[in-house]
């Protein structure tokens, strides 16, 4: 690689894992083996057999240096230039990439502006960013309350550093509890360096604080225009750049998915919530001091951090397309064979088969629904979100053979050696003995509850988003950061 920051980064990551500096050899990903091997064979042999340098002989664990509290002193214009400094990145075709920002101009975080931002929270500037409540991990482990949040290269952060990022992003002081929850979640992207993918990051705020700070939960809530939505979406990216030095094109884990910097609010004023559905906040939980699972209430505010392999966006979302279904009109009615027959119908019966073909793998995902689409599901008979999740789980499957045929089999199943949870057998054993064994498409390790529906981006024409294989968003409490 071509610049010293990137080389130092990989060296630090190696030491973080107790290794000496790791030598890298670029290997082509396309072409025939007899053509590919000569392009890297000699370099690989040299890297494996060459004497170690003094730097490569270093041992021990990497400990990040304490960054200075004052990064730069000068005029406002000079500070803007300093924060916007760039470095050339080979993977980006030698283009300049910002080191401290998301590439856009920022508000210079002066002492005065940071102090004003700190008025949005009761927490002290020097307080470390740590978990506020204990919670269960994805694979059964428990994260205790008060656990320090570690970013790339083992860096940690403080409340004041979050305030600095919030100033840079253009946040207002009243947004600070949400910004601190975003910091608790790790910001946008924390697995640096990681593999590049379309794995996007998005945030949703569910609970009373959304109205308090003026978040858009209605029309075009993922679009530009809302100061709260857009600056809170942006602050995670600025944290990513500054809490561990994740630089796009060098050590970031995503490929710039367009939904990367989105924060919106769940539309808890939608009619389904007065009729029995609960918000994402009430679907989220933490552990109390005795280890008991406690669900949040409607009066509490929760941040959801979603991710997944791309978003499927609103197929057939032309004006009136979905609302005409219950009248027995237009294409969805024809698809379901009910044209000309008014009634209550489930539009997901058309959508889910398409999603299964697009992502033929067991897992779970998150729907972000227009309020009218949620109401159609309610009118059909799904009086709770949980009822939708169970119907999805019980009715949509793929066979082990079809999973094996997809491009998603080898990595998630460790080449088929992993144990399939419903049978207790390895995927490879099932492939040999029962290739038609059915796997639930919509339900991961936790079953139906691994799915999620968030009602948002309402008041316009009906549409939906589906986050492929993302599962239910991780949840983080906001109120303790007030």
pLDDT tens-digit readout, 198-218:
667 889 999 999 999 999 998
The answer to whether 453 and 289 are in contact (CB under 8 A) is no
Whether residue 374 is predicted with pLDDT greater than 80 in this model: the reply is yes
In a shared domain, residues 132 and 248: yes
In a shared domain, residues 237 and 314: no
In a shared domain, residues 252 and 315: no
In a shared domain, residues 113 and 236: yes
What percentage of the chain has pLDDT greater than the value 70? Answer: 90
For range 83-99, the mean pLDDT: 85
Name which residue leads in pLDDT, 433 or 191. 433
Phi first, then psi, for residue 45 (nearest 5°) are -65, -45
Using omega within 30 degrees of 0 as the cis cutoff, is the peptide bond preceding 193 cis? Answer: yes
**435 occurs within a structural domain:** no
Domain boundary among 201, 231, 265: 265
Q: How distant, in Å, are the alpha carbons of 120, 204, 216, 395, 433 from that of 229? A: 17, 9, 7, 36, 51
In a shared domain, residues 261 and 370: no
Q: Encode burial over 50-80: b for 16+ CB neighbours within 10 A, e otherwise.
A: eeeeeeeeeeeebebeeeeeeeeeeeeeebe
**182 occurs within a structural domain:** yes
For range 393-412, the mean pLDDT: 91
User: In angstroms, rounded to a whole number, what is the distance separating the alpha carbons of residues 363 and 340?
Assistant: 36
**What pLDDT is stored for residue 11 in this prediction?**
61
Reported as a pLDDT band with limits 50, 70 and 90, residue 2 is very low
At 267-314, the pLDDT tens digits run 999 999 999 999 999 999 999 989 899 999 999 999 999 877 767 777
In a shared domain, residues 220 and 163: yes
**186 occurs within a structural domain:** yes
In a shared domain, residues 124 and 206: yes
**194 occurs within a structural domain:** yes
Whether residue 456 is predicted with pLDDT greater than 60 in this model: the reply is yes
At 338, list the tokens: 């009910």
Phi first, then psi, for residue 336 (nearest 5°) are -90, 0
The contacts of residue 452 (CB under 8 Å, 6+ apart) are: 280, 283, 364, 365, 366, 367, 471, 472, 473
In a shared domain, residues 149 and 250: yes
Whether residue 115 is predicted with pLDDT greater than 70 in this model: the reply is yes
In a shared domain, residues 109 and 253: yes
Reported as a pLDDT band with limits 50, 70 and 90, residue 385 is very high
How are the residues of the chain apportioned to helix, strand and coil, as percentages rounded to the nearest 5? 35, 15, 50
**130 occurs within a structural domain:** yes
Phi first, then psi, for residue 454 (nearest 5°) are -120, 130
Reported as a pLDDT band with limits 50, 70 and 90, residue 471 is confident
**What pLDDT is stored for residue 407 in this prediction?**
80
**23 occurs within a structural domain:** no
For range 170-199, the mean pLDDT: 79
**144 occurs within a structural domain:** yes
Whether residue 5 is predicted with pLDDT greater than 50 in this model: the reply is yes
**230 occurs within a structural domain:** yes
Which residues span the domain enclosing 233?
Answer: 76-265
In a shared domain, residues 323 and 390: yes
**What pLDDT is stored for residue 31 in this prediction?**
85
Reported as a pLDDT band with limits 50, 70 and 90, residue 3 is very low
User: In angstroms, rounded to a whole number, what is the distance separating the alpha carbons of residues 302 and 284?
Assistant: 8
In a shared domain, residues 86 and 179: yes
| Residue 27: count of CB within 10 angstroms of its CB | 12
Whether residue 190 is predicted with pLDDT greater than 50 in this model: the reply is no
**What pLDDT is stored for residue 18 in this prediction?**
73
DSSP secondary structure code for residue 64 in this structure: P
> Could you tell me which of 341, 336, 348 has the C-alpha nearest to residue 377?
348
Four-residue CA torsion sign, 48, 49, 50, 56: positive
Q: Which of 59-73, 153-167, 234-248, 464-478 has the highest mean pLDDT?
A: 153-167
Whether residue 371 is predicted with pLDDT greater than 60 in this model: the reply is yes
| Element housing 211 (H / E) | helix 209-212
User: In angstroms, rounded to a whole number, what is the distance separating the alpha carbons of residues 231 and 172?
Assistant: 9
DSSP secondary structure code for residue 276 in this structure: T
In a shared domain, residues 231 and 355: no
DSSP string, 138-167: TTS-EEPTTPBP--GGG---BHHHHHHHHH
E-assigned strands of 302-380?
A: 302-309, 311-313, 366-369
For range 366-383, the mean pLDDT: 94
The answer to whether 132 and 477 are in contact (CB under 8 A) is yes
| Element housing 201 (H / E) | strand 199-206
Domain count along the chain = 2
Domain boundary among 208, 243, 265: 265
């Amino acid at each position: 690689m071509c610049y010293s920051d990137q080389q130092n980064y990989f060296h630090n990551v190696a030491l973080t894992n107790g290794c000496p500096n790791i030598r890298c050899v670029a290997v082509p990903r396309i072409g025939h083996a007899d053509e590919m091997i000569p392009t890297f064979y000699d370099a690989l042999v040299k890297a494996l057999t060459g004497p170690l340098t003094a730097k490569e002989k270093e041992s021990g664990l990497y400990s990040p240096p304490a960054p200075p509290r004052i990064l730069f002193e000068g005029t406002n214009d000079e500070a803007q230039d300093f924060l916007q400094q760039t470095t050339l990145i080979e993977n980006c075709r030698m283009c300049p990439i910002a080191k401290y920002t998301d590439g856009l101009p920022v508000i210079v975080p002066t002492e005065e502006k940071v102090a004003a931002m700190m008025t949005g929270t009761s927490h002290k500037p020097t307080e470390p960013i740590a978990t506020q409540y204990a919670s269960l991990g994805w694979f059964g482990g428990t994260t205790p309350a008060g656990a320090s949040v570690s970013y790339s290269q083992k860096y940690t952060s403080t409340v004041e550093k979050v305030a600095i990022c919030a100033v840079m992003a253009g946040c207002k002081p009243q947004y600070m509890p949400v910004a601190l929850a975003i910091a608790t979640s790790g910001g946008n992207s924390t697995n640096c360096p990681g593999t590049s993918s379309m794995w996007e990051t998005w945030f949703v705020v569910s609970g009373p604080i959304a109205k308090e700070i003026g978040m858009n939960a209605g029309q075009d809530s993922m679009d530009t225009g809302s100061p709260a939505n857009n600056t809170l979406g942006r602050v995670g990216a600025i944290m990513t750049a500054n809490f561990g030095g994740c630089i796009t094109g060098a050590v970031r884990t995503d490929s710039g998915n367009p939904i990367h910097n989105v924060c919106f609010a769940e539309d808890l004023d939608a009619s389904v919530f007065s009729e029995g559905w609960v918000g994402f906040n009430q679907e989220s939980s933490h552990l109390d001091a005795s280890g008991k699972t406690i669900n949040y209430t409607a009066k509490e505010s929760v941040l959801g951090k979603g991710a997944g392999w791309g978003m499927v966006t609103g197929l057939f979302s032309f004006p009136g397309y979905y609302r005409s279904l219950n009248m027995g009109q237009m294409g969805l009615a024809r698809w379901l064979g009910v044209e000309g027959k008014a009634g209550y119908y489930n539009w997901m019966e058309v959508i889910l088969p398409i999603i299964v073909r697009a992502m033929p793998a067991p897992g779970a995902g998150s729907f972000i629904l227009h309020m009218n689409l949620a109401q159609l599901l309610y009118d059909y008979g799904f009086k709770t979100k949980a009822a939708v999740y169970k119907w999805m789980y019980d009715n949509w499957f793929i066979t082990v053979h079809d999973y094996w045929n997809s491009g998603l089999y080898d990595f998630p199943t460790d080449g088929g050696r992993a144990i399939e949870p419903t049978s207790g057998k390895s995927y490879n054993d099932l492939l040999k003995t029962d290739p038609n064994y059915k796997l639930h498409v919509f339900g991961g390790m936790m079953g139906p509850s691994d799915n999620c529906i968030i009602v948002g981006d309402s008041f316009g024409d009906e549409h939906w988003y589906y986050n492929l294989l993302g599962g239910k968003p991780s949840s983080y409490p906001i109120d303790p950061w007030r």
